[in-house]
Structure 1
Amino acid sequence: MRFAGWYLKIAVGGAAIGAAMELFMIHTGFYEKVTVLESEKRAWESSPEAQAMREALNPWHKRDEKEKK
C-alpha cells in the first residue's frame, strides 16, 4: 500500500474529468442530438429503400437463409 495516495489522486482526477465531460455534454445538448439522430437512423433502416439497398449489397442474402434452414 505504498502508492495508495498516488492511486487515490489518479482515481479522483479521473472522476473529476469524467464528471466535467458529462456536464459539458449535458449543457451542450449532446444527448438530445444523439437521441434524434438515432431515431432517424432507425426509421431509415426500417424503410423499404434501406431494405432494398441492403439486399442489393448482399446478393447471397437469400441463399444464406436457405442454407441455414
Structure 2
Amino acid sequence: MKFLDWYLKIAFGSALIGASMEFFMIKTGFYDKVTVLESEKRAWENSPEAQAVREALNPWTNRDVEAKKES
C-alpha cells in the first residue's frame, strides 16, 4: 500500500487524541457528574410531577386510548 505510513500516523494521532480526552474526563470527574445528573433526571421523570407535566403537554393521549377501547 502506497499510503500505509500516512494512515498509521492518522490512526495513531486519533487514538492519542481520544485517549487524552478520556484521561481528561476521568481526572476532572466528568463521569461522576454525569452519573449523578442522569440518576436525578430518571428520578424526576418517574415522579408524579413529571407525569402531570407530560399529561398537560399531551392531553389527547388518554383520549386515543379510550377511543380504541370503545371501538
**Aligned-pair RMSD on alpha carbons?**
1.4
User: If you compute each CA radius of gyration, which structure gives the higher value, 1 or 2?
Assistant: 2
Q: Deviations over 1:6-62 (max 9, x none)?
A: 110000000000000000000000000000000000000000000000010001111
How many percent of aligned residue pairs carry the same amino acid? 75
Q: TM-score, normalised by structure 1?
A: 0.91
Q: How far is the alpha carbon of 1:66 from its aligned partner?
A: 4.0
How many residues are paired up?
69
Residue segments in structure 2 that go unaligned for 5+ positions in a row: none
Match of 1:53? 53
Displacement of 1:63 in angstroms is 2.6
Q: Which runs of 5+ in 1 are unaligned?
A: none
Write out the 4+ residue segments of structure 1 that deviate beyond 6 Å after TM superposition: none
